[in-house]
Amino acid sequence: MTPKTGLKGKIFIVSAPSGCGKTTLCKKLLKDKVKLHQSVSITTRPPRRGERNGADYFFVSAEEFIRMIDAKDLLEYEENFGFLYGTPKKAVEDLLHKGRNVLLSIDVKGAMNVRKSYPQNSVLIFVMPPSMEELKNRLESREADTAKAITNRLKVAKQEVACRDKYDYVVVNDRLDAAYKKLKDIILLEGERPCRDPQ
């Protein structure tokens, strides 16, 4: 995709290994008085307990997801843990055209692709777990995955953490309140800055 220029809003991309706490942090941001619009991703993964269609994700079939890829409705998409995940293009671009800031909570590969497509607008934030042991505890406490799935998520987590230097900011989610404050400060600071100049 040719890089898009001239859009006014910022895209805040938050990535973190699964179970690190990015959903918790992003939900706090959206409840707070930070001017941000969450992009709701589309996925073929089944909903977890408590997840709502249209709020946490749009849950669709693999056939529907492939139809969206073919129709070029997705800004980016990736496969994670055997399921497809993608960002809806129109909803995000409509917000950027209006100068609104958008929050994407997506994986490392997706983050890199969004930055390539929207280099002037993207701000990349990586959320780190305090340790792999604590990440394992959090995955277990969520009670959403089997032991085998948790082992797989931890393996992917190590690969993702190794990419943190590609991000503009790194926040360690040790104590939730402290991590939240850092994340919010970054968003408020970057929200005030103009978009980057074209390269």
Contact residues for ligand 5GP, defined by CB under 6 A: 18, 41, 45, 76, 78, 80, 85-87, 105-107, 110
Q: C-beta of 14: minimal distance to ligand 5GP in Å?
A: 8
Site track for ligand ADP across 116-155, x = CB under 6 A: ----------------------x--xx-------------
Q: Indicate the residue among 20 and 150 with the shorter CB distance to ligand ADP.
A: 20
Least Cβ distance, residue 194 to ligand 5GP (angstroms): 27
Residue 76 touches which of ligand ADP, ligand 5GP, none (Cβ within 5-8 Å per kind): ligand 5GP
Give me the least distance between CB of 197 and ligand 5GP, in Å please.
27
The residue behind tokens 């799935």 is 149
What is the distance between the alpha carbons of residues 170 and 142, in angstroms, rounded to a whole number? 24
Q: CA 25 → CA 46, 53, 176, distances in Å?
A: 22, 20, 8
DSSP E strand stretches across the chain: 11-15, 37-38, 42-43, 58-59, 74-80, 83-88, 102-105, 122-128, 169-172
- Angle, alpha carbons 183-91-180 (nearest 5°): 10
First to last CA, the chain: 16
For the CB of residue 176, give the shortest distance to ligand ADP in the complex, in Å.
Answer: 4
Reading the block at residue 122, the tokens are 């993207």
- Contact residues for ligand ADP, defined by CB under 6 A: 16, 18-24, 138, 141-142, 173, 175-176, 179
